[in-house]
Amino acid sequence: MHSNPVYLLPVPEFTSTWIKIYFGYCWPLHNFLKLCIQYGCYSLLRQRIDRLEDEVRENIARGMAILGPTFTLDALVECLVIGVGTMSGVRQLEIMCCFGCMSVLANYFVFMTFFPACVSLVLELSRESREGRPIWQLSHFARVLEEEENKPNPVTQRVKMIMSLGLVLVHAHSRWIADPSPQNSTADNSKVSLGLDENVSKRIEPSVSLWQFYLSKMISMDIEQVITLSLALLLAVKYIFFEQAETESTLSLKNPITSPTVTQKKVPDNCCRREPMLVRNNQRCHTVEEETGTNQERKVEVIKPLVAETDTSNKATFVVGNSSLLDISSVLATQEAEIELPREPRPNEECLQILENAEKGAKFLSDAEIIQLVNAKHIPAYKLETLMETHERGVSIRRQLLSKKLSEPSSLQYLPYRDYNYSLVMGACCENVIGYMPIPVGVAGPLCLDGKEFQVPMATTEGCLVASTNRGCRAIGLGGGASSRILADGMTRGPVVRLPRACDSAEVKAWLETPEGFTVIKEAFDSTSRFARLQKLHTSIAGRNLYIRFQSRSGDAMGMNMISKGTEKALSKLQEYFPDMQILAVSGNYCTDKKPAAINWIEGRGKSVVCEAVIPAKVVREVLKTTTEAMVEVNISKNLVGSAMAGSIGGYNAHAANVVTAIYIACGQDAAQNVGSSNCITLMEACGPANEDLYISCTMPSIEIGTVGGGTNLLPQQACLQMLGVQGACRDSPGENARQLARIVCGTVMAGELSLMAALAAGHLVKSHMIHNRSKINLQDLGTCTKKTA
């Protein structure tokens, strides 16, 4: 058998060796014992274990429950069939069949007890060093078998049971019912062959002592038996004296001890932090190679425990953020000794007492017990992160709760959640967190804008977008760069109030438009923030309802919360002058936020930016692969006339929303605000001495953007802002970073417009997308984008 498991080969060798020592040598016995070993049963069990190696013990138990009855029946049938040979009357055949039955029983005993225990132990101890491959070369042998459930065939089982009953009857009839003379004759013959007689009662004295007899037997062994025993002894010596120290050092790396007085307790069944196989992801803070390659003088704050590594071929694994920036308490918590917890969940009353105990808390409860408390309404599901010792564990438990409610429990398998700094998310960016979404981030550039070069990050899943924008940046750079200006800077909020009569609404509107009224409202508004400064009020009446649009600068923040706070304070002040006024909503859709609106297109909102560039005719021909005349004509027909025919508001562009959204996602902005931020009008005209150069401009009156607050606090998004040099607040001139980012957005939009319009003019759009924007992966093969490349 070419692919036999190598660890089973010594079984017949040892068996025949000891038979040779104690009973003499029988030449066919060695090969006969090889035929008695069921290699298939070991491979079938190993095949089931390899399917999901992160739940080794459960898979072994499941495999034994399915395969055990079948192998028990097989062993019984084999013993009964081979046992027929013990009644043949041929001495050598009887000996072979007797030891054959013993070999089958020993093989069955090993398979049912020793083999599963050894497999479980070795796989648990060798997870870190296997890098996703089996510790033995069993996976290749297991893959030889077909991928099937190996369910017992009822027809085969019935045939075997009928055979077993028949063979039992044969044995019973031959040994106890029939005339025992054949057996007696066989015994007599054996006695004669040994030179014995029943009537002889004389005691025979041995010529040599017992130890000399067995020593002579051992000395007379064959060469292969000597080699087998020697190899076994050498391996035992090697493991005891050489590999023990290496094993202890490996275990010390897995469980580092930060203090000699600290002792660690190992959970016997690892039940305190076990997760279901559908939601577990691979986690490993430091590999053994990284530990041994770094300085031996390790500091407490950088030591992290190794978690058992599972198969990484289909697991989503990401590391987000710098561990040194994490809360030191959470880092130290992971270094504490694991707490021994009961396997079965304890009663809710006892769990609640442990949870409310200040000295114990959630870390003394297992995941199953936490889930039990959530299901019993003792713990709100949205408070899991705050009640657990780490935010990540709260996310993990919520995923376990959610998986049981989904039609496809494995849906969350490829949604990563480990190694993320959730302390920056809680209370700021998201609630009921179950993970994070990795999105590819490309770079377009350099973008030459206002005499500076910028590498622009773009997070997108649309093919050709980054490449097209990058071509536009190259064309702008070859043309000498682009110029930009900030036209206005003011975030808005438009509440709606109601008065008893329409005439009363008109009276309030008139008072707000007076210098006295504006001064009173501005003083109240400005008192709420050191950055918010009310610029103007825009009012409108619809019957008794009065809509007031507050506009104010907000520094480097996008400013919605800041302006809302000032608006609320100003309305309270307004009520003091007009007690009959009723505040219906602090946001009356007169802002307007995240909705298409002409008021944003006309009045502006956030940052209003204009950007322009001149592209030489040579660059138009060689880089953009078209002509100035063709681009001007397409721009008029598409962006101006086409959008007007569609009744568009602020949509006089080719694809400004593409670029705006990609930059917003990469830089931590509110992606929903691309609705108003993508308002843009793209103009093109011929210029230059021969009217062959291309003049292009983009005007964007409502870019809602900021560099502090919200998603800009997350580390990956901060990295993208640092690429542009606008991360955080500007100390020298508050608001300058946000304005600079708005100019970069407008300049990148112009680059994207330039490239797309050129592709349309040259007829290359469909051709390029057929080549570069088509998925080439099998949609049935999920998770290929999140495979670990290490």
Question: Could you read off the pLDDT of 590-636 as tens digits, one per residue?
Answer: 999 999 999 999 999 999 999 999 999 999 999 999 999 999 999 99
In this predicted structure, the answer to whether residue 329 has a pLDDT above a threshold of 80 is: no
CA distance 530 to 566: 11
Q: Quickly state the pLDDT bin for 774 (edges 50, 70, 90).
A: low
Q: Say how many CA atoms lie within 13 Å of 717 toward its Cβ.
A: 25
pLDDT value at residue 418? 94
741 closest CA partner among 666, 679, 690: 666
Mean of the pLDDT values across residues 23-47? Answer: 52
- CATH architecture assignment, domain 495-585: 2-Layer Sandwich (3.30)
For residue 472 the two structure tokens come to: 């536009």
Q: Quickly state the pLDDT bin for 512 (edges 50, 70, 90).
A: very high
Domain ranges of the chain: 6-195+207-221, 288-295+303-424, 444-488+607-772, 495-585
Q: At what angle do helices 736-762 and 465-478 cross, to 10 degrees?
A: 100
CA distance 481 to 787: 40
Of the listed ranges 156-170, 511-525, 709-723, the one predicted with least confidence:
156-170
Residue 498 dihedral angles phi and psi, to the nearest 5°: -130, 140
CA distance 385 to 265: 26
382 in Cβ contact with 431 (< 8 Å): yes
> What fold does the segment set 288-295+303-424 form as a domain?
HMGR, N-terminal domain (1.10.3270)
Residue 49 dihedral angles phi and psi, to the nearest 5°: -70, -40
pTM of the full structure: 0.60
Q: Quickly state the pLDDT bin for 46 (edges 50, 70, 90).
A: low
385 in Cβ contact with 391 (< 8 Å): yes
Alpha carbon distances (Å) from 321 to 291, 704, 716, 727? 20, 26, 7, 16
The dihedral formed by the CA atoms of 324, 329, 331 and 337, expressed in degrees to the nearest 10: 160
Q: ω before 592 within 30° of 0 (cis)?
A: yes
Q: Quickly state the pLDDT bin for 442 (edges 50, 70, 90).
A: very high
Place of tokens 């080794």: 56
pLDDT value at residue 251? 45
Active site (catalytic) residues: 462, 594, 670, 769
616 in Cβ contact with 658 (< 8 Å): no
pLDDT digits (tens, 9 = 90+) for 247-286: 555 444 444 444 333 334 444 444 444 343 433 333 433 3
State the first-to-last Cα distance of the chain, in angstroms, to the nearest integer: 35
Q: What secondary structure letter does DSSP report for 164?
A: H
In this predicted structure, the answer to whether residue 322 has a pLDDT above a threshold of 50 is: no
Indicate the helix (H) or strand (E) that contains 179.
none
pLDDT value at residue 623? 96
Four-way CATH pick for 444-488+607-772: 3.30.360.10, 3.40.50.720, 3.90.770.10, 3.40.50.300: 3.90.770.10
Using only C-alpha atoms, the chain has a radius of gyration, in whole angstroms, of 40
CA distance 485 to 699: 10
pLDDT digits (tens, 9 = 90+) for 149-202: 445 566 676 677 777 777 777 767 676 665 554 444 444 444 444 444 444 455
Q: Quickly state the pLDDT bin for 234 (edges 50, 70, 90).
A: confident
Place of tokens 């930060």: 258
Residue 660 one-letter amino acid: V
HEC readout, 676-724? HHCCEEEEEEEECCCCCEEEEEEEEEEECCCCECHHHHCHHHHHHHHHH
**Residue 341 vs residue 721, higher pLDDT:** 721
- 536 forms beta bridges with 551
pLDDT value at residue 246? 52
Q: ω before 446 within 30° of 0 (cis)?
A: yes
**Residue 779 vs residue 492, higher pLDDT:** 492
